[in-house]
Amino acid sequence: MTLNIGWIGCGRHATQMLMPQLGRNDMRIAAVCDVNEAAAASAAWQYGAEATYSDFNRLLDHKGLDAVCMAVGPDLHRVASIAALERGLPVFLEKPPAKTLEGASEIAAASKAAGKPVLVGFMKRYSTGNKIAGNIVRGGDFGPVLGVTGTYMTAPTYFVGEVDYSGFFLHHCVHYMDLIPWFARADFDEMSVRKIVPQPGKLLFHLNFTCNNGAIGTVVMGTVQSRGTPMEAIQVMGDHVRVEIDNVINVAFYRDPPFKADDASATLDPACDTLCWTPNFTAAANEDHKGYNALIRDVAAALRGEESAAPTIEDGVRAMSNLERMIGLLDL
């Protein structure tokens, strides 16, 4: 069944990363909305929408919508998703789901009251390397996760000239407040942080945590690295097994091989030696390594009321809860 979508927020991320995935998943952009009328008109032209609006309430009144999708920004996600749910429409929204935990909880309550799903754009679960590693960790042979370490760095792009970490927390850190517990297979329990601030706006911190399944870990985050370099690395550790993901695509799965040096017949044994994977970027296929299409495929299923692994607003509430605890400990 083709889903008629009303889309709110026609910025760079929506038009370049998300909207291109819709047609592939039998979703049709019926109407678009942006306060920037030129942005709305351009999106409508590119994706064949039949109507443009500058007020999201008017878009929600557009006849024949099956669902509403949005990539606007934290507080609009809350306000517009609740308004859509009150009209009985299911919602996909980008991260962060709201500006605060309270706001995300309001969306979750509205979703429950309407009996309609709200899906959240935590696409890092779908990036090829993270997906492979997640399947290995959940695959049965890995055993319990003992520890997770992760690094997610960025530069102070959201607050040049003005020290405000809220964009960094809401647009970046929120990803790992979802992804790291997803790898640990349990939510954070205790948390502590250490930080260094070499200059106003430049922050490096280590978040140490336990999880409620006993796993331990550290997340390194901050605003002191260039976004022109790879920013993400994760290691998930078990007993004589570990999986490492570099730059969301390169994966290495380490197990328990014998030493090689004194074995004249040493070779590589697929049963115990290290398995590595890296993509072929010259493949002329529609490869989706960041995971936007895989996410939207699951979102489309959920919006149709089918079984789906798409992250939900309940995942969004957990991530916002983790985020607010972390921000409180940082005491900036």
Give the DSSP letter of residue 176.
Answer: H
Distance of closest approach, residue 68 Cβ to ligand NAD, in angstroms: 12
Give the DSSP letter of residue 240.
Answer: S
Scan residues 53-112 and list those touching ligand NAD (CB under 6 A).
Answer: 56, 71-73, 76, 94-95
Distance of closest approach, residue 240 Cβ to ligand NAD, in angstroms: 34
Q: Count residues contacting ligand NAD (CB under 6 A)? A: 22
Cis? peptide before 20, omega within 30° of 0: no
Binding mask 15-54 for ligand NAD (x = CB under 6 A): ------------------xxxx--x---------------
Asked whether the beta carbons of 173 and 143 are under 8 A apart, the reply is: no
Q: For residues 114 and 87, what is the distance between their CA atoms, to the nearest angstrom?
A: 8
Among 123, 132, 221, 249, binds ligand NAD (CB under 6 A): 123
Residue of 156, 188, 186, 182 whose CA lies nearest to 169: 156
Asked whether the beta carbons of 255 and 274 are under 8 A apart, the reply is: yes
H or E stretch at 70: strand 67-70
Distance of closest approach, residue 228 Cβ to ligand NAD, in angstroms: 16
Q: For residues 89 and 310, what is the distance between their CA atoms, to the nearest angstrom?
A: 17
C-beta of 27 vs 237, nearer to ligand NAD? 27
Does 241 help bind ligand NAD (rule: CB under 6 A)? no
Distance of closest approach, residue 188 Cβ to ligand NAD, in angstroms: 21
Binding mask 154-173 for ligand NAD (x = CB under 6 A): -----------------x--
Distance of closest approach, residue 130 Cβ to ligand NAD, in angstroms: 13
Strands of 137-267 (E only): list them. Answer: 147-153, 188-199, 202-211, 216-222, 232-237, 242-246, 250-254
Distance of closest approach, residue 15 Cβ to ligand NAD, in angstroms: 8
C-beta of 78 vs 318, nearer to ligand NAD? 78
237: phi then psi, degrees, rounded to nearest 5? -110, 130
Which residues sit at the interface with ligand NAD, rule CB under 6 A?
8-14, 33-36, 39, 56, 71-73, 76, 94-95, 121, 123, 171
